[in-house]
Structure 1
Amino acid sequence: MSGIGVLREGPLHAAVKDLLASPGDRAEVKFGRFVIDLVRADGELVEVQTGGFSPLGPKLDALLDDHRMRIVHPVAARRRIVRVDAHGEVLSSRRSPLRGGVLDVFDRLVSFPSLLAHPNLTVEVLLCAEDHIRAPEAGRSRSGRRRRDPGERRLVEVVGSEVLSSPSDAAALLPPALVAAGAFTTRELSAALGCRMVLAQRVAYCLRGMEVLVDAGKRGRAPLHALARTALA
């Protein structure tokens, strides 16, 4: 079946979907007004989402209460930037210093952080080695900005995965030493996780939405977070 999803998917999406498929699974299945990437033989609905999660909102609203659903989100743990010419011949390649991890999923969970508490939802983060295929550098625009081809992501291999099926799974990603210290600021969370400040802000926002973190007052002007007593229950 050539569904709407097939027409819009990129090479990374297609490769991950093929990798996930097992005997008895069905791809691109029509569910009312929606098309599901993969329907497992046991009935689980699987959606591969390489970008933001907000487009999944209507699908989750319509289907989640009656069906087990899994969002599979590929993250580039290792990436190589490959420049190709118009004929697809490789001009250059280099390793990117950027390395993603499971925490990157919080960039996407900001769309609906509390939904991870739903008993039918699982989020699986696939840590991947990827090639980012791009055209040659195109110089600069009239405004002086460098033109950059966003290219496309291609799967090389899956190097690991992390499954989040409840708020307690998300809570387990917090550094134990930070939790043991009691209340902490977002900046301290950023340092403990070894991530940029904006990502730490999203982690804190999502964990508050899941009621994993609670307000613990302020230190100066900085709001304090603390682990909720029920977070690891």
Structure 2
Amino acid sequence: MAWSTQQVAELAETTVKAVRYYHKIGLLDVPERTANGYKQYEVSHLVRLLQIKRLSDLGVPLSEVASMGHAGEDPDEAIRVLDRELEATVARISRVRAELAVILRHRAPAYVPPSFAPVARNLSDRQRSLLMVYSTVLSEKSVQEFRELLSEPDDTDEEFEALPPDADDAAIDRLAARMLPVVRRARERHPWSKAPAADAPRGAKHAEYTMAEAMVQLYNPAQLCVLKRLNALLQEEASGASDDAP
């Protein structure tokens, strides 16, 4: 009994194109041809085609099908590798579904790290961008601390976000002065905020540089001036406290 390419493809529930491709990459031997030039597939070809399709359906890449051999050879190790890969895939899909559930529950943008989903809707686009950059360089613990800090908004947050780039020095000084007690209280409640990059996975310098670059490119000149003025005020306070210490 012999079959044509179309017939053997139908028996294996695949396509003629797939059969020809298997020939091309050496997975399936090319059968002999009849006098009129048509291929004649025999049982051995059908069995091999069924093997290829079965392994492919299991998720084995075609590049690895050949190494798994023909019937009679031991495929245990390749199957174990495939099973481990599938286990990792299932775990990843489960994690993604859990993250999507959090994002949907809080109606947060899909690109926001799931740990920030509860507060993401109340943030500006600029804050979300900073958040994404910070989450790539800070430790998981620091990211969680940062999320808790964001969950405690203050009136100065909106004022800072709305500050125009051409704000004058007086407006900058006023806002920095208003933000000073807010930041002071935040540092008291969250000591982590004094050195957020201290435990960064790739080192504090790398994290600090990345965070600083993000701020420079995302904040406008007036906002950057406010931050510089605020930092100067905090240093003055620290220096004064040090001088007053017995």
Would you say same fold, with TM above 0.5? no
Instruction: Give the TM bin, normalised by the shorter chain.
Output: under 0.3
TM-score scaled by structure 2? 0.23
Larger helix proportion of the pair: 2
Larger relative contact order (Cα-Cα within 8 Å, sequence gap ≥ 6): 1
TM-score, structure 1 normalization:
0.24
Larger radius of gyration: 2
The structure that is strand-richer by fraction is: 1
